[in-house]
């Protein structure tokens, strides 16, 4: 590829990035590796972080920036639609399953969850997607199960989100280790969001979900300077996409 062709290719990518609302610096970073579309949600989040003076100075977390306000960048499901309590008697479990089928319909989902002892069913307003979350009593690590409540009154399982690709940090989703997983709405689309907050850092791994299934993931990672009072100014901010 000669220099003129490379320049024209770069200009086309930057033009596409502007059309999608992606920053130029983020678009340059994915040339030859990821298309802007593959990291568009993460690029939008990164652009908001760069524009926030409070985050840049370390006075505000990215999580607070992204999930609060009248129109948050990221909406997360936190209020259960249904909850299966621990140690239910057999007849109470039967009644719960009746209520579950009454809300979501028939299907294999009820049978799949029959061996689960305690879980919450989470959803976002206007979405057919549901995430079942179970937390083991002995450790704050979570197990998840996804399904859709269809208009034909059938609960249909959604396969698990794709495993992390080689090179992606294999951080566990355990509250005591600073990792959480959420059913989220980002840019108008359903997604599975992994959020990790180790000392002086934050990362967001976003896996969009469409009618075609899970789409390639992208990650926004931020590192803050450490000061005597805790978190200092934003030091690095990177956007990466799964291949």
Higher pLDDT, 167 or 130: 130
Residue 108 domain boundaries: 3-241
Residue (of 150, 135, 143) closest to 103 by Cα position: 150
Determine the Cα–Cα distance for residues 38 and 30; give it in Å rounded to an integer: 9
Class of residue 147 by CB neighbours under 10 A (exposed 0-12, middle 13-18, buried 19+): buried
For residues 144 and 153, the answer to whether their CB atoms sit within 8 Å is: no
For residues 116 and 134, the answer to whether their CB atoms sit within 8 Å is: yes
Taking only the tens place, the pLDDT of each residue in 42-51 is 999 999 999 9
Average the pLDDT over 57-66 and give the result: 96
pLDDT higher than threshold 90 for residue 172: no
Determine the Cα–Cα distance for residues 124 and 39; give it in Å rounded to an integer: 23
If pLDDT is split at 50, 70 and 90, which confidence band does 7 have? very low
Tell me the C-alpha to C-alpha distance, in Å, between residue 141 and each of 4, 88, 101, 146, 178.
53, 22, 27, 17, 10
DSSP reduced 3-state for 48: helix
If pLDDT is split at 50, 70 and 90, which confidence band does 242 have? low
pLDDT (0 to 100) of residue 158? 95
Higher pLDDT, 190 or 171: 190
For residues 146 and 132, the answer to whether their CB atoms sit within 8 Å is: yes
Q: At what angle do helices 3-20 and 40-51 cross, to 10 degrees?
A: 80
**Helical (H) or strand (E) element with 42:** helix 40-51
If pLDDT is split at 50, 70 and 90, which confidence band does 3 have? very low
Domain total in the chain: 1
Tell me the C-alpha to C-alpha distance, in Å, between residue 122 and each of 79, 93, 132, 183.
6, 19, 6, 7
Higher pLDDT, 210 or 38: 210
pLDDT (0 to 100) of residue 26? 34
Determine the Cα–Cα distance for residues 56 and 66; give it in Å rounded to an integer: 14
Burial 55-74 (b: 16+ CB within 10 A, else e): beebebbbeebbbeeeeebb
**Contacts with 6 (C-beta within 8 Å, 6 or more apart), sequence order:** none
Average the pLDDT over 101-110 and give the result: 91
Say what percent of the chain tops pLDDT 70.
79
Q: Which two tokens stand for residue 70?
A: 């009248």
For residues 65 and 54, the answer to whether their CB atoms sit within 8 Å is: yes
If pLDDT is split at 50, 70 and 90, which confidence band does 11 have? very low
For residues 189 and 210, the answer to whether their CB atoms sit within 8 Å is: yes
């Amino acid at each position: 590829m000669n220099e003129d062709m490379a320049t024209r290719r770069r200009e086309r990518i930057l033009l596409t990035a502007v059309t999608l609302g992606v920053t130029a610096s983020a678009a340059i970073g994915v040339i030859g590796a990821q298309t802007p579309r593959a990291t568009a949600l993460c690029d939008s989040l990164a652009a908001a972080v760069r524009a926030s003076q409070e985050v840049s100075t370390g006075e505000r977390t990215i999580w607070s920036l992204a999930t609060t306000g009248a129109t948050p960048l990221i909406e997360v499901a936190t209020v259960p639609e249904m909850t299966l309590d621990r140690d239910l008697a057999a007849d109470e479990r039967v009644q719960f399953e009746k209520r579950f089928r009454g809300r979501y319909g028939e299907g294999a989902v009820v049978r799949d969850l029959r061996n689960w002892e305690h879980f919450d069913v989470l959803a976002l307003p206007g979405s057919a997607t549901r995430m079942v979350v179970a937390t083991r009593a002995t450790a704050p690590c979570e197990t998840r199960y996804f399904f859709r409540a269809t208009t034909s009154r059938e609960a249909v399982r959604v396969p698990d989100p794709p495993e992390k690709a080689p090179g992606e940090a294999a951080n566990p989703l355990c509250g005591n280790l600073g990792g959480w997983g959420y059913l989220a709405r980002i840019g108008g689309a359903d997604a599975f969001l992994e959020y990790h907050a180790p000392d002086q850092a934050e990362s967001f791994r976003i896996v969009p979900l469409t009618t075609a299934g899970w789409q390639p993931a992208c990650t926004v990672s931020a590192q803050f300077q450490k000061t005597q009072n805790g978190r200092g100014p934003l030091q690095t901010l990177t956007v990466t996409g799964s291949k």
